[in-house]
Chains A and B, each alone.
Chain A
């Protein structure tokens, strides 16, 4: 599980459960579903997620030259393994991959697209963060992805276990089977670890 203990207990989590990060939680679920390689391109918004991958011996990080290439590789991987995943960064990265994601969606290939987004604490209506359009709306690209994905989830500590637990479990369980997903997530906030395997109906090779 590779869980880490929280430095300080979260007020709304079960004290006896080990803690992990949002990225750790997601990676645990993906590995349970059969994932062993994660494709992608680094960007400053996704580096905490890449740190979490680097800390897991069961997951190999496969750096690619382009986000489109990462999406294509995750697609072909998923055709044989039943699941594939890529990590891109907010805006410039995720939009470079959107053709690949649409292709996976069109051909019913289960790919999870993980996008690292600007930290919640850094979002300010008066300052335009890089890779975003001006105006302080952080939803432009998720709305673009909605047309070519079966589901989307904005993963935050408060929607992971320890926060709104039933909703987070539902989303994590849906990350395993069947259809392309788009997930936006941050890596370093702390939440409770999964306490059991997700229900999965994983296609065979």
Chain B
């Protein structure tokens, strides 16, 4: 039966009291306390508690890509995306130069942090299925109780001088000429402009997820992805799941051609429900993420070429999906303008974005170099 602890059981009061006392001892002398948020915070429904903790202590909060959108990015305490050595400077300083790092539901996965990197620091408070401070484990202390204890124990500290003025994100996209060929940089700059508060952006493993992870999310917007299990094709049926789960939110699906071919039949399931997602297919001739890891010119990275603009008509002829192809930055801007209009008037939109086979977002370049270096 179950190997993971069941939730919903009250922890032993003595264990909880010992945890709270240990928290007070650790936080007492600490001036630089930071928070790193992982995927379990949203799973366990404690993202509001994380915000309360950040406010109570005036703490910088970084997120890993699996928790992108789970802390408001307009909050002045937001420190950006932490991705090991690939992080923005603000996030890296917040996480790695803290006296105490509070990790809330973080799994230190290679695809999240790059290689086998771990945030350093002996004083780490690690909250997950159980709580741990340094080498001491507190079984049964779930995220909810642990965050309550931390919020009661933390004292507000002045903002860190070393973080002052550092942005929580670094915009790498240069301004685009009207006829410039579409690149990963200009694609994500256009997607950034397209995002609205409350959007659900679901991005598949590959250039899609790591490009999306570097965006600045408007309030209430979330990135949905599967960075740890990383099974390509997850997001096409996933877009159906999130659309039904949150029918009032706009859903934007971004996936590469290799991922889409894995689960392509499910576009019929998605459009057959009468849903109106904006679907962006990154057509870059195959498994670009693998090209960055190993032998970029090897034939096995290639996949059969599809005519993506014909795909919705084949699997959902009654959906009246608007299909567009963009191979320049300006063309993508026009397509996204059209998508805004059609999505608001109840028509699904599919945009085929034509990109180079070896073009990758900066974060993916960094992470795959680390993976390649570690022998993966």
Contacts and interface: CB of A to CB of B under 8 A. Distances in A.
Interface of A: 36-37, 39, 60, 62-66, 68-70, 72-82, 84, 99-100, 102-103, 106-110, 150-152, 174, 177-179, 199-205
A104 to B, nearest CB: 8
B266 A65 contact: yes
B241 A84 contact: yes
A181 to B, nearest CB: 9
A74 B4 contact: no
Contact of A66 (B3, B244, B263, B273): B263
Contacts, number: 137
Given A77-B241, A79-B224, A151-B1, A103 B234 contact: yes
6 contacts: A69-B263, A73-B237, A76-B245, A79-B42, A203-B45, A205-B42
Contact of A200 (B4, B8, B244): B8
B8 A199 contact: yes
B6 A178 contact: yes
Interface in B227-259: 228-229, 231, 233-242, 244-246
A203 B269 contact: no
B39 A64 contact: no
Contacts of A79: 42-43, 224, 241-242, 245
B45 A204 contact: yes
Top 10 A-B residue pairs of the complex, sorted by shortest distance between their CB atoms? A201-B8, A76-B241, A76-B238, A204-B45, A77-B241, A203-B45, A65-B265, A103-B229, A80-B245, A69-B237
Contacts of A109: 43
A201 to B, nearest CB: 3
Contact of A37 (B2, B4, B238, B244): B244
A108 B234 contact: no
Contact of B228 (A36, A106, A177): A106
User: Which of B40, B233, B235, B269 has most A Cβ within 10 Å?
Assistant: B269
A200 B42 CA distance: 17
A73 B240 contact: yes
A177 B7 contact: yes
A107 B228 contact: yes
B245 A65 contact: no
B202 interface: yes
B245 A178 contact: no
B246 A82 contact: no
A40 to B, nearest CB: 11
Contacts of B3: 150
Given A69-B263, A107-B229, A75 B241 contact: yes
Contact of B245 (A64, A81, A202): A81
A47 B52 CA distance: 48
Given A65-B268, A205-B42, 8 more contacts: A68-B263, A72-B233, A72-B235, A78-B241, A80-B246, A108-B39, A108-B40, A174-B2
User: Which of B40, B228, B237, B266 has most A Cβ within 10 Å?
Assistant: B237
Nearest to B105: A108
Contacts of A84: 241
Given A76-B237, A99-B231, A102-B229, A69 B265 contact: yes
